[in-house]
Amino acid sequence: KESAVAFLKAAIVYYERLGITVQRVMTDNGSCYRSRAFARICKRLKLKHIFTRPYTPKTNGKAERFIKTALGEWAYAQAYENSEQRALELPIWTHRYNWHRPHGSLKARTPISRLGLDEDNLLRLHS
């Protein structure tokens, strides 16, 4: 429960820094997302919480694909000395994935380009 709440708070801060106001959050039906703590933080942040339909991969397909990519390109892409080393590499990989790595499904654009930020703003935020 606590890690889901902490992640949501961190995500909100991240998007606020990009000038984006989050209005909705979509999650699966995991117990951490159905918890009172998660419901309270959504209410406090004025977020509409939407759940994916159980056993409907189409609604959660992008998340599932991201996890598969992360496992292949980050978690198991190289031998790490320990879990701490792997954890330190995650923000670096995530940044590269979102800001620099072209995606076939996005016509060779990056995920960050989907946010509709103008180029000047994007360069300012990224530097």
3-state DSSP call for residue 35? Answer: coil
- The DSSP string of 53-76 is PTT-HHHHHHHHHHHHHHIIIIIT
Enumerate the β-bridge partners of residue 25: 49
- Measuring CA to CA, which residue among 91, 97, 94, 93 is closest to residue 109? 97
Q: By residue range, what is the domain housing residue 105?
A: 57-127
Which of 80, 35, 33, 28 lies closest to 55 in space, CA to CA?
28
Instruction: Verify that 37 and 73 share a domain, yes or no.
Output: no
Do 64 and 20 fall into the same domain?
no
User: In this predicted model, what pLDDT tens digit does every residue of 45-60 receive, in sequence order?
Assistant: 999 999 998 888 788 8
Burial of 52 from C-beta contacts in 10 A (0-12 / 13-18 / 19+): middle
Q: 79 and 117 in one domain?
A: yes
Give 6-62 pLDDT, tens digit per residue: 999 999 999 999 889 999 999 999 999 999 999 999 999 999 999 998 888 788 888
What's the pLDDT band for 63 if we cut at 50, 70, 90? confident
Domain count, the chain: 2
